[in-house]
């Protein structure tokens, strides 16, 4: 069973490695959405190396696994190196992202071991996660359901249908993590429709809310651990305050970074600096 717990120093080193690997994937597969994937590196790292998610890489459909529904499919390429590292597939697959014959595409699909649902179209993950959480409760299972969603997905009406549903149906086994990187495809979210204050909206729908710096390994560990052990009947939301394009100065703060690609030379320089 994969339920690794590492020291904070080790976790930070792992996150740095994931960031570098994600950049290296982008170098070979510039079709990947690099800025979106860099904002949730620490979230994935803590989920899988911080002892939060229970899983079995040799048996991805293991009944007692915790369920992770990745709603922001395009922005989860940073999960590829983690899956390879944990043994879901061989590391050599990382060299073939977006190449003919590879199962690792620009936007991940459930043909990839470790991905549960189809995630390319935004705003579906939370509703599906509600159904999974309901199903686990009906089976009297203790497994947890985590849903990772981008803040931009909050513009989808179906997300709010699910937010209402989870609160009403006391889905305490459900934790939504919002990768609140504040940038959509064309602009800053606050310039499109300002979603703030987000915490009050969730509280009003009977969710337990936590806000956290989404790049602070220590705080992420703490809050995810708390939520994992929470046996209450309110659904949890963790609003992870993140930076889209984190670690790449040219991308950070650029409202159009969603569609920006990095040149191979740029990536080599970045990795050199990071190392």
Partner 1 sequence: MITQSSITMRDAFIQSVYTRMATDDRIFFLCADFGSPKLDDLRRDYKDRFINVGIAEQNLINVSTGLALEGFTVYAYAIASFITMRAYEQIRVNLSLLGQLKPLNINLVGVGAGVSYDVSGPSHHCLEDLAIMRLLPNMEVFSPADWCMSEVLADYSAREAKPKYFRLDGKPLPPIYDTIPNIDVGQGFAVLVQPSDICLIGTGYMTHQALKIANRLAAIGKQVGVIDVFRLKPFNASTFVQSISCCQRIVTLEEGFIGNGGLDCVVSGALAEQGLKPEMIRIGFKDKFCFQIGNREQLHELAGMGEGAILKAILVSKA
Tokens of 181: 């990187």
Range in contact with partner 1 (rule: CB under 8 A) among 81-89, 155-163, 222-230, 251-259: 155-163
* Closest CB 135 distance from partner 1, rounded Å: 3
Binders of partner 1 in range 2-41 (CB under 8 A): none
In the list 121, 194, 196, 269, the residue contacting partner 1 (rule: CB under 8 A) is 121
Q: Does 165 bind partner 1 (CB under 8 A)?
A: yes
Residues 1-35, buried b or exposed e (16+ Cβ, 10 A)?
ebeeebeeeebeebbbbbbbbbbbbbbbbeebbbb
In the list 2, 13, 98, 134, the residue contacting partner 1 (rule: CB under 8 A) is 134
In the list 64, 87, 91, 139, the residue contacting partner 1 (rule: CB under 8 A) is 139
Q: What does the H/E/C string look like for 79-144? A: HHHHHHHHCCCCHHHHHHCCCCCCCCCCCCCCCCCCCCCCCCCCCCHHHHHHHHHHHHHHCCCCCC
Q: Residue 28 or residue 169: which is nearer to partner 1 going by CB?
A: 169
Q: Does 110 bind partner 1 (CB under 8 A)?
A: yes
Residue 128 CA to residue 119 CA, distance in Å, equals 11
| 3 state SS of 192 | helix
Q: Does 162 bind partner 1 (CB under 8 A)?
A: yes
Contacting positions for partner 1 (CB under 8 A): 109-111, 116-118, 120-121, 124, 126-136, 138-139, 157-158, 161-162, 164-165, 169
């Amino acid at each position: 069973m994969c339920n690794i717990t590492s020291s904070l120093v080790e976790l930070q080193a792992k996150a740095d490695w994931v960031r570098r690997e994600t950049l290296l994937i982008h170098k070979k597969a510039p079709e990947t959405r690099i800025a979106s994937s860099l904002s949730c590196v620490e979230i994935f790292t803590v989920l899988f190396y911080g002892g939060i998610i229970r899983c079995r890489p040799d048996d991805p459909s293991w009944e007692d696994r915790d369920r992770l529904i990745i709603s922001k499919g395009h922005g989860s390429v940073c999960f590829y190196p983690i899956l390879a590292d944990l043994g879901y597939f061989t590391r050599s697959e990382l060299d073939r992202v977006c190449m003919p014959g590879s199962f690792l595409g620009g936007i991940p699909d459930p043909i990839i071991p470790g991905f549960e649902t189809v995630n390319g179209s935004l705003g579906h993950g939370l509703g599906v996660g509600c159904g999974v959480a309901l199903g686990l409760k009906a089976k009297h299972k203790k497994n947890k359901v985590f849903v990772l969603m981008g803040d931009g997905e909050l513009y989808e009406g179906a997300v709010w249908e699910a937010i209402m549903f989870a609160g009403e149906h006391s889905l305490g086994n459900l934790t939504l993590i919002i990768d609140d990187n504040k940038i959509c495809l064309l602009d800053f979210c606050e310039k499109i429709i300002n979603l703030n204050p987000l915490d009050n909206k969730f509280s009003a729908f009977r969710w337990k809310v936590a806000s956290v710096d989404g790049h602070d390994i220590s705080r992420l560990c703490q809050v995810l651990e708390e939520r994992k052990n929470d046996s209450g009947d309110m659904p949890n939301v963790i609003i992870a305050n993140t930076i889209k394009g984190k670690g790449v100065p040219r991308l950070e703060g650029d409202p159009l970074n969603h569609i920006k690609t990095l040149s191979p030379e740029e990536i080599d320089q970045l990795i050199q600096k990071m190392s």
